[in-house]
Amino acid sequence: RAKGDGRGVHRVFTAEMLAGARTRKQLEDDLRVALTNDELHLAYQPVVSVGSGRIVGCEALLRWRHPQLGQISPADFIPVAEDCGLIEALGEWVLRTAIHNATMLPGNIRVAVNVSPIQFGNPGFAAIVANALANHDIAPDRIELEITEGVFLRDTDSSDKMFKALKGLGVRLALDDFGTGYSALGYLKTAPFDKIKIDKSFVRGAINKGNRNAAIIQSIVMLADALGMETTAEGVEQQDEIELIRELGCTHIQGFVYGLPMPLNDFVEQLTAQGEAAPPVGYKISRAP
Ligand code: C2E
Ligand code: MG
Ligand code: MG
Ligand code: MG
């Protein structure tokens, strides 16, 4: 089986396939089945601290191996799940599986989990997170929930409440894909993020002279620093980009240069190779609860 299943191996999900309503409906049905049929798994991509050069965490990324179509990108099927109401069940599976698998990793390794704005907009979401945490012996600050600017298009009173409830549980919060949404900066006045993830579209090309991306990254870092937030540069692919990102002041790097999204076993191996403490006694890779 290919090592890492992040790049290149996704089946391109073509516009024609999405165009036909029947195909879309079919895909919804397939996705429903996927949840109970063991077709989903999580891949883990390393997050490296710029200061130490060591892996300090990972992002859990959802993978779907469709029995006929092969790997389908989450960029294609997450929107389908959001449209047809499946995202809540899917998101809860991701959360429970990621938390369960986090207990298989050394205690200093954080695990980031993507949360759809639809999940975040459910008043019961904090209780779902609390419940998933309660089932495991894990420090809540090892779990980092990644949300996008999409949540700010919704009612601010209820999102304020949700932020408070989640911080109350002790989990960390990251603002994903920063700079790609439509929201104003106003939400940074109050939203209690621990980290801003700078979208890969800013990292791409930042190394080139005359490109504005480096200046934009630097400004985001200054903003985040002033607000006491960490910054992860996403999509770092080349060695020379690591040096640039360091100069621009980001605290963390995530990108193919340090590893593709990979099966949990491979991620554990990579941690072992960097000399992390062995996983807890009784360590064994197991399926989601
Ligand atoms: P994201 O949360 O911004 O995740 C990072 C994406 O960038 C991942 O794509 C990852 O494979 C890709 N990436 C990482 N490093 C590099 C790099 O160096 N170069 C390039 N070109 N790409 C890189 P992936 O896994 O295809 O996921 C796409 C998006 O799907 C995610 O973007 C996230 O928005 C969504 N997604 C994935 N899993 C979940 C999930 O469990 N729940 C929800 N709600 N959304 C998810
Ligand atoms: Mg993310
Ligand atoms: Mg992102
Ligand atoms: Mg994204």
What does the alpha-carbon distance between residue 102 and residue 88 come to, in Å, rounded to a whole number? Answer: 21
Atom 44 in ligand 1: residue holding the nearest Cα: 116
* Residue bearing tokens 């980290």: 195
Q: Is 61 exposed, middle or buried (0-12, 13-18, 19+ CB in 10 A)?
A: buried
> Does ligand 1 have an atom closer than 6 angstroms to the CB of 258?
no
ipTM: 0.98
Q: Which of 100-109, 114-123, 191-200, 274-283 has the lowest mean pLDDT?
A: 274-283
Residue 13 has a pLDDT of: 59
Query: Which one of the ligands is nearest to 74 CA?
Result: 1
Please report, in angstroms and rounded to a whole number, the separation of the first and last CA atoms in the chain.
24
* Residue bearing tokens 């999940």: 119
Residue 90 has a pLDDT of: 97
For the segment 33-46, the average pLDDT, to the nearest whole number, is: 96
Tell me the per-residue pLDDT of 204-224, one tens digit each, with 9 for 90 and over: 999 998 899 999 999 999 999
Residues bordering ligand 3, an ion, CB closer than 5 Å: 176-177, 234
What does the alpha-carbon distance between residue 258 and residue 270 come to, in Å, rounded to a whole number? Answer: 10
Residue 25 has a pLDDT of: 86
Q: In a mutational test of the pocket of ligand 1, which residue from 9, 11, 48, 78 has the highest number of ligand atoms less than 8 Å from its CB?
A: 78
- Is residue 62 a contact partner of residue 114, using CB atoms and an 8 Å limit? yes
Q: Does pLDDT of 231 surpass 80?
A: yes
